[in-house]
Amino acid sequence: MGVLDGIRVLDYGRFIAAPWCSALLADMGADVIRVEKREGGEDRWVQSVADSGEGGTFLQCNRNKRSLTLDTTIEEGREVTRKLVAGTDVVVANMPAAGMRASGLDYDTLRAIKPDIILASATAYGEGGPYSDRIGFDGAGQVMSGAVYRQGLPDTPIRTVVPYADFGTALTLTIGVMMALYHRDRTGVGQHVEGALLPTALMLSNAFLIERALLGTDKPRMVNQGTSVAPCDLYRTSDGGWVLLQIAGPPMFKRWCRLVGRPELFDDPRFADDDLRWEHGAELNDIMAQWCADKTKTEVLALLEAAKLPAAPLHSTQDVLDDPHVEAMGYLQRMPFPGTARDVPIIETPFRLSETPGAIRRRAPLLGEHTEEILGEIGYSADQVKSLRSRSVV
C-alpha cells in the first residue's frame, strides 16, 4: 500500500518540473492522470528513443501515470475538466497564469469546483513580478541565478547540461504538495502551491550571492577546480581515466599531504586553511596531477580510498549502466516499453521509505492509452466517448 493511495492527481505538466513532481506522487501511490493535447504534449517527443516517438525524459517523468487526451480550449473539453476536477485532490500544471485561466486551471476556478483542491503550479520566474509572463526553460534559471557566471572556462561561461533547475523545482514543488496535503488533512482547506525555476536555481547558488553581497567579490571561473577548497579537480591517470578529488578541512588535507609524500605542506602557512589553500590551489592541484600521472585509475582510487579521501571516477554513460553499485542498489529499474530495442533503465524513486517505499508499477503511457478508462470512471458511456472522439474533443 502506497502512502498516497486514494489521492488523485491531474497532471497538466509538460517537460520536467511539473511531470517529475507528479511522477514522484505516483511512485508513492497516487493515481496520476496525465492530460495532454490530442496530438500529444511537446515533451512527449523530445529525445526520441522509441519507435512511437517517445523520448527518454518523457519515459522517466511519466512512469506510473495514465494518459488522457483532451482539448481543453473548447467548452466540451472544459466540461470534461470540470468533471475530472470534482474527483481530484491535486492539480499539477506548468504554464503561465494566462494559459491557466484560459484552460480553467487557475486556482479560483478550480476551488469553485472543489473547495479543498490543491493546485501545484510551476513557472519559470514565479507569479507577481515583471518577468512573470515570460516563458523559460531550465537554462533560464541557470543563467539568471549567477551560477553560470561562476562556472566554465576562464573566458567562456558554461551552462550545465543536466537540467538541475527543472528537477530541483520538481522536488520543491513535491515538498509543497505534501505540506499542502498534510495541512488539508488537519484543516480541510486546500491551497495553491507555487514553484519556479529561478528561485530554485537561486537556492542552489545562494552561497555565491552571499559571498558577493558581503565581500563584494566574485571568484574566477575555475573549470573543474573547487570554488573554495584545494586540492580539488579532475585528474588524469596513466590509462586515460579521470578521477575527482575534493579536499576540505585540516584532517583531510593532512592525510592528503602524507599520501602524496609532501607532509611539510601541512605546516606551510600558505596552506593554513581552506581559503588559503584555494588561493594557492594551482600548486596543490599540480602536485596531485603529477601524483596521478603514473598511476592507473584503479590504483589512484584504491590509494585515495585507503587514505579515506573523498574521490570518485569519471563515469561515461555506459560506465553508469554497468556500475556494480548502481546495479546492486537497484537505482535503475529496467522496464519494457513498446518500440524500444531493449528494456528502459528508469531511475527509481530517489528516496527510500522503510515502511511505505515508492514503486514503479507501470511504464509511461502511450498517447491517450487510458482515455476510455478514465472517462468511464467519471460517468461517460462508451457511446459518449465515441461521440467526443468524433468531434475531436478527446
Catalytic residues: 166
If 0-12 CB within 10 Å is exposed, 13-18 middle and 19+ buried, where does residue 187 land? exposed
- Confirm if 307 and 256 have CB atoms less than 8 A apart: yes
**Which one, of 23, 103, 107, lies nearest residue 71 by Cα?**
103
Write out the three cell numbers for 152: 566554465
CA distances from 124 to 42, 90, 93, 134, 290 (A): 17, 20, 12, 7, 45
CA distance 380 to 363: 26
CA distance 288 to 94: 46
Strands, E assignment, the chain: 8-12, 31-36, 65-69, 90-93, 118-123, 152-153, 156-157, 192-196, 232-236, 242-246, 311-313, 332-335, 344-347
3-state SS, residue 305:
helix
- At residue 169's C-alpha, the angle toward residues 167 and 175, to 5°, is 110
- Confirm if 201 and 141 have CB atoms less than 8 A apart: yes
CA distance 44 to 61: 10
Strands, E assignment, 225-339: 232-236, 242-246, 311-313, 332-335
**Which one, of 225, 220, 175, 234, lies nearest residue 200 by Cα?**
175
